[in-house]
A and B are shown apart, each in its own frame.
Chain A
């Protein structure tokens, strides 16, 4: 019964979205406003149907309805409640439905928050959104129906991959999906603007909050994902340049570029066609990521069960949507000659540099991800592009960007004075040099690259502080109170400051933890003590441990610094029952100076256990930095000038 409700709702949503993706264009061509107004209701109707369908599947998971194939294959009646819920999107079919749900939520959000958009424009935006939803629902119904029934229904389900039974994993995919899908709104706005021939500063103003929201979700999703990898996979690493990670990273890079270029369109009416292209490309990367993960064209730890039919469907869909929009872009490009003139040395110039570097970087990541495929297609041999290549390009391309991030916010629009700004930034430069030299001489790494990285972080952090200092006009003899000056700074500017500061903190986290990690791999028995960095790890006990749906071997370590007990670590080596699968649970104790990290592996001979012990200095800076970026994005989003409903006619808000 449940399955039927969900299935029928999905079919209704398909039909409704078909109307929604065609009717508004017909109405717009005829100039029939009455019909255009129906688009809102159709969008809400699609949202209602998809939500019903999603609710049906969720209930199916909650009550363990094993007559649904997806539930039987991915759930288990004994699974904790949280993972029954997260199991809904922890599988291929459910995650596609979740995508569709998010698409329809964003569509409904455009209806709810975009009532000030001109009706013609809004109905075009919604029509594009409906087209994407239509594609996803058709994909489900043809190749991956979440409501496939099993007859007879099995008595028990197969369980969920235990690696997925973790809060970090439960929430990072939905965050990423929200980010991917948020970019669909920027995409729809871009297509609507091309169709309506209205690429204006006003357009950029409309599209910015949506892009920012998507960017916040993507940033949060990537951060949670790498955090999950850090403590659940037990390898001590947090980023592996895995194709699936890259698939999420590329849209983030392009979205970051888009955020910055949309500012130029809004403020200076320049970079119009480039910004439109970025909006198209950002969402295309989201779709491409989906294709890469689900077609089985590359192998990855994240890959879903693969099926050639799915790959072909997504590829055709990708070709039509992205190919069609790039064609439209090419046809309309000549009409989008930008307005504002500016010198190379200016805020605009800095933002363009940002865009060039981020785009080239995204292209490099794309090539690195696809190169093995291309090589295989041409020569038939298999190679892989490893982290060293990616890291090399990251350093080469991102170092100048970080230098530029220091300059950008201090530059004037139209024509900046590099000499003057450099003078302002002299403290940052001196700090960078001092830190660099100090790092080089100290014991942290002694490697030139480490010193350089720490110097870059120091540069950016001080440059951000200088920018705040200037923004607040401290020491300029301004007679206004500091409180007044604090209020005068717009929230979006605080958001920027915080995000840039977060970038600096993240650089510290990456560079210091990469260079300064102490690692010991040993076979230890109870009573043994091993020194890792400045810390002594003593194995005090190895005991069995029983969890709700797993059993584990748990090791206990007392960690001492200068003889003083500072932490107890309890890593586990778990064996889940349904399905049978071993996982490593790292035990992490954060100190201010860094993380103590321990994992326990299999039993070795003579009562010894294989263990990995680490001290990772300042690694939490990576997540602290990304957290600052997310908060910065949210603060910026709360800026009333950007608030989605109040963009079109600010005077109404005032009155």
Chain B
């Protein structure tokens, strides 16, 4: 039955592929991030708006769970995901930080005044350095950082379709719960 061997090996391979493709939880871009579970890389950025001051990794480690969104006015998918960010901004329990990636300040401001400003704090990453440190492969990209400043989740590409409901919000809920537990553990 040697002659069936190529067919058998090939079939086994197809089954593995099919299993991986149909596994909805698997996102090849996610597993690639070595940053998950690591503290956010150090950075110190100029703020975009007058009230922002500076934005650095210490702001991320203040006990609150945060969403960090890399955006740019020149990026079309960023426009597409903007309503999702605005929806997140409505919620008082989450802080949304923005990092304007390789974008002139004037353009970023115009972008936000046109579409609305969902951000609690905005840093200007003009040369893209922070993006590189965070391993951003393209804008938009969204991270969830826990209260200790550790990156817990990474979402590649725009938050559109059902990805807010089915991915980001459940992750956010879990991370917030875990964060509460560690925070209250500290207080005891």
Contact = CB atoms under 8 A, between A and B. Distances in A.
Given A299-B29, A579-B74, A315 B17 contact: yes
B119 to A, nearest CB: 20
A297 B128 CA distance: 28
Nearest to B72: A580
A311 B21 CA distance: 7
Contacts of A298: 28
B87 interface: no
Contacts of A284: 10
B38 to A, nearest CB: 15
A243 B72 CA distance: 31
Chain B interface residue bracket vs A: 20 to 34
B183 interface: no
Interface stretch (B1-9, B43-51, B62-70): B1-9
A291 B13 CA distance: 12
B20 A373 contact: yes
A281 to B, nearest CB: 7
B102 A319 contact: no
A327 B7 contact: yes
Contacts of A374: 16
A329 B6 contact: yes
Given A377-B16, A580-B74, A306 B3 contact: no
Given A318-B14, A580-B102, A329 B3 contact: yes
B166 interface: no
A320 to B, nearest CB: 10
A315 B16 CA distance: 11
B11 interface: yes
Nearest to B127: A602
A281 B7 CA distance: 11
Interface centre among B21, B76, B128 (most CB of A within 10 A): B21
B21 A326 contact: no
Contact of B6 (A312, A330, A376, A580): A330
Contacts of B22: 312
B28 A297 contact: yes
Contacts of A311: 21
The 4 residue pairs across chains A and B that have the minimum distance between CB atoms: A333-B3, A326-B7, A330-B3, A299-B32
Given A370-B13, A580-B72, 17 more contacts: A295-B21, A296-B28, A297-B17, A297-B28, A299-B29, A308-B21, A311-B21, A315-B18, A326-B7, A327-B7, A334-B3, A370-B16, A374-B16, A579-B74, A580-B102, A602-B127, A602-B129
14 contacts: A291-B17, A299-B28, A308-B21, A315-B18, A318-B14, A329-B3, A329-B6, A330-B3, A370-B13, A373-B16, A377-B19, A382-B31, A382-B32, A602-B127
